[in-house]
Amino acid sequence: MITNPTRQRTLRGHKPTRPSPRAANTAEHHAALAWRLTARDKWITRMLWEHRVLTSHQITTLAFPSFRSGRQRLRELYLWGVLDRFQPFVTVGTAPMHYVLAPAGAAVLAAEDGLDVKDLGYRHDRTLGIAHSLRLAHTVGVNDWFTALIDHARHTHGHTELTAWWSETRCARHFGDLVKPDGYGRWRTRDHHIEWFLEYDFGTEPLPKLAIKLTGYAALAQATCITTPLLIWLPTARREATARQLLHKTWQDLDHPHQLPIATATAELLDPTTPHPSPADPVWLPLDTTHQSGRLALHELLDAWPHVPSPTTTPAEPTHDSTPRPTPPSPMPPEPRRR
């Protein structure tokens, strides 16, 4: 009100920090990066190209022994122009820093694969555009899901491993004419291997639309003659119960429902008191519970689906796509070099 003006001190924001100078994106700078970047740094650039955006918490969980050491290295990569970053607005608290691939990082990635940056399809404005994308939270959520699996594997001392992680973009390039999964993964627990497509439900999509997607996955299984399980991750137990009713009805109406094994889980089932809770925990419930009861761990799902063969090779790049593509990164980070 004009009779009760806002006090000037309440309009003061945080004290601006002194801007840090960043390296220029020149050929000389690219050459200098040859002795600055480690194998882990290059792995991070490849992961960012594959998965578009990763938060500081995700990157440090994936590849660093502590958040402090990861934060220091990420700052250096930012100052060298290898990575770019932004911080989304949140109503409560402070969002973590979100990292994307910067021009110098794209140049290094392209050179490693013998490509030009223009052949890579990299555009700086489009890369940073995800900061304003309506799918930012969904993309970060999917990446968080797979990050939890990698964190689980890193603390089991070789007994488990995430051997494949494909982004939504790569899945769309391979299977987009029929389905567009939120991700593709492959998990190893000792001698047990399981692969899957992921549908990550954020709680905003109408559940009947989620159920309709089963027809596309069934068509893909019939066209490829490959039985690939579908894992559906939901935010709450209540939404999972409702979704299972709709999914089961659609699943039963398929011509060959046994070709599409489905299991659901919810984030509420993860035990926050355990050291490294992840989707590998016993939180999965197959849609067809005729021959078993109770929740299963990720590697135990094959026991509920004895007709599903163990995966042998990952899907190859589409033959109709002649565009050169960077090779997908290994989900597990490289081991640090011992001195």
- Could you tell me if 147 and 220 lie in one domain? yes
Predicted local distance difference test score (pLDDT) of residue 264: 97
Q: CA-to-CA distance for 286 and 264, rounded, in angstroms? A: 6
Q: Which residues contact 251 (CB under 8 A, 6 or more apart)?
A: 214, 257, 260, 262, 287, 288
Helix (H) or strand (E) holding 189: strand 183-189
- Could you tell me if 221 and 123 lie in one domain? no
H/E/C letters for each residue in 241-256?
HHHHHHHHHHHHCCCC
Residue 270 domain-assigned (yes or no): yes
Predicted local distance difference test score (pLDDT) of residue 15: 52
The tokens for 56 are 């500081």
- Mean pLDDT per 10-residue section of the chain, whose length is 339 residues: 54 55 86 94 97 97 94 96 94 92 95 89 94 95 97 87 95 92 95 94 92 96 94 96 96 94 96 91 91 85 88 63 73 73
Which residue has tokens 């659609």? Answer: 250
CA 70 to chain CA centroid, nearest Å: 19
Residue 3 domain-assigned (yes or no): no
- Could you tell me if 242 and 111 lie in one domain? no
Residue 188 domain-assigned (yes or no): yes
- Could you tell me if 143 and 115 lie in one domain? no
Predicted local distance difference test score (pLDDT) of residue 339: 43
Q: CA-to-CA distance for 209 and 192, rounded, in angstroms? A: 33
- Could you tell me if 193 and 119 lie in one domain? no
Predicted local distance difference test score (pLDDT) of residue 1: 47
Please give the sequence-ordered ranges of beta strands (E in DSSP) within 45-142, or none if there are none.
54-55, 83-86, 98-101
* Residues 34, 117, 47, 91, CA torsion sign: positive
DSSP string, 257-313: GGGS-EEEEEGGGS-TTSSS--TTSS-BEES--SS--S-B-GGGHHHH-TTSPPP-S
Boundary (domain end) residue, out of 116, 132, 148: 132
- CATH assignment of the domain containing 61: 1.10.10.10
- Could you tell me if 128 and 141 lie in one domain? no
Q: CA-to-CA distance for 181 and 176, rounded, in angstroms? A: 8
- Could you tell me if 65 and 179 lie in one domain? no
Predicted local distance difference test score (pLDDT) of residue 243: 97
Predicted local distance difference test score (pLDDT) of residue 272: 87
- Could you tell me if 74 and 104 lie in one domain? yes
- Could you tell me if 72 and 140 lie in one domain? no
Residue 318 domain-assigned (yes or no): no
Number of domains, the chain: 2
- Could you tell me if 39 and 123 lie in one domain? yes
Residue 1 domain-assigned (yes or no): no
Q: Which structural domain, as residue segments, surrounds residue 293?
A: 136-304
- Could you tell me if 143 and 227 lie in one domain? yes
Residue 120 domain-assigned (yes or no): yes
Residue 124 domain-assigned (yes or no): yes
Boundary (domain end) residue, out of 74, 97, 132: 132
Boundary (domain end) residue, out of 86, 113, 132: 132
* Residues 188, 193, 198, 202, CA torsion sign: negative
Residue 319 domain-assigned (yes or no): no
- Could you tell me if 79 and 124 lie in one domain? yes
